[in-house]
Amino acid sequence: MKREIYTEEHDIFRDAFRKFLEKEVVPHQEEWLKAGIVPREIWKTTGEQGFIAPWIPEEYGGAGADFLYSAVEIEEIARIAETGFALNLHGEIIVPYLEAYGNEEQKKKWLPGCASGDIITAVAMTEPDAGSDLQALKTTALKDGDSYVVNGQKTFISNGMLNDLCIVAAMTDPKAEPRYTGMSLIVVEDGTPGYQKVRKLDKLGMLSQDTAELFFEDCRVPKENLLGAEEGQGFIQLMQKLQQERLVCAIGSVASMWAVLDWTKQYCQERSAFGKPLIKFQNTRFKMVEMYTMAEICQTFCDRLLKEHVAGTEVVTETSMAKYFFTEECKKIVDQCLQFFGGYGYMDEYPISRAFRDIRVTTIYAGTTEIMKEIIGRNLGM
């Protein structure tokens, strides 16, 4: 389909980024899967080419590009089914907190490294007893002289082992009422005494994405590492960035639909049963038509949201709709497409097998489908 939201410059950028991925990422995907982690070198290589968070302002080491360049990267990474290299989590979800809420000193200190690949970021919100309900956080960051002393445990943290800098959601005022007014975002740097990367977690999918459990024990952080002008702004800061986080998920889900459908169409054209290609069976064609139609519908809605987001329009409700609906539909499409591959679809040598494992989590992370529906309902006055 023709995508009117992209200019010729975006298309040139897409071609360059696609070639970069084919050269620097695709040949190593199996190796990374077996290792259970991507090497730091790929971050440096990507940064040297200017492909990390291209929106970062030039004065902080970025290209100062619009978010559509980021969207191009999200789509191209989904096209090759790369879920271990968390480039977009770092560049489009985590680093924006530093740019939006960091003071000038913090931005000069951290953003250049975030753009170059020298600093890999993580955001630590989820705890063993606090997932979608952030107001149930138990991690504390209590003021002590010129420092915050952080104590607590975080789990399911992407880039958990690789991160050089972790944005931690913690209670700076555990007695605050309403409770969310006591939450702040504290930046903890790797190597800080008391900051422990306890273990890398074993997962169903996304096997090369390092997801870890983190522990903070009397972790003393300089008071200058508070994000924002004052304490108690953490919950609001997180909420203000959810629109882009959900849009990132939505873009990736639609791009994954197209990738999976293209693999399946090619397979059904080449694979025969009862003397004819699978694509010649009416059931196969009709199912494929239904799925391509769904992908077109989702893409149209996605492009509308992209355009509005870049224009600065508030589309929190709509991006929540897109996040829940696209991830659920992508999950259905992958399941149906694996069925067309038959036994081969269950073999790791086929990308559809990896996609089946990896895409399952998309209806869970960044807010479950159920939480998205709760948010949408409230925003609609229900």
Element spanning 109, H or E? helix 104-116
* Residue type at 357 in one-letter notation: R
The 3-state DSSP class for residue 51 equals: coil
Q: Is 245 a catalytic residue?
A: yes
Cis peptide before 222 (omega within 30 of 0): no
Per the DSSP assignment, residues forming a β-bridge with 148 are 143, 221
Q: 279 in the Ramachandran plot: left (φ > 0), alpha (ψ -120 to 50) or beta? A: alpha
Query: What are 180's two structure tokens?
Result: 């969310």
| Identified catalytic residue from 73, 76, 245, 318 | 245
The 3-state DSSP class for residue 269 equals: helix
Q: How many CB atoms lie within 10 A of CB 340?
A: 22
The 3-state DSSP class for residue 66 equals: coil
Closest to 153 measured CA to CA, from 165, 138, 171: 138
Angstrom distance (rounded) from CA 170 to CA 91: 22
Angstrom distance (rounded) from CA 203 to CA 297: 32
Angstrom distance (rounded) from CA 196 to CA 215: 5
141 within 8 A of 150, measured Cβ to Cβ: yes
Length of the chain in residues, anyone?
A: 382
Per the DSSP assignment, residues forming a β-bridge with 165 are 121, 189
Closest to 254 measured CA to CA, from 303, 213, 209: 303
231 within 8 A of 173, measured Cβ to Cβ: yes
Q: Which residues belong to the active site?
A: 245
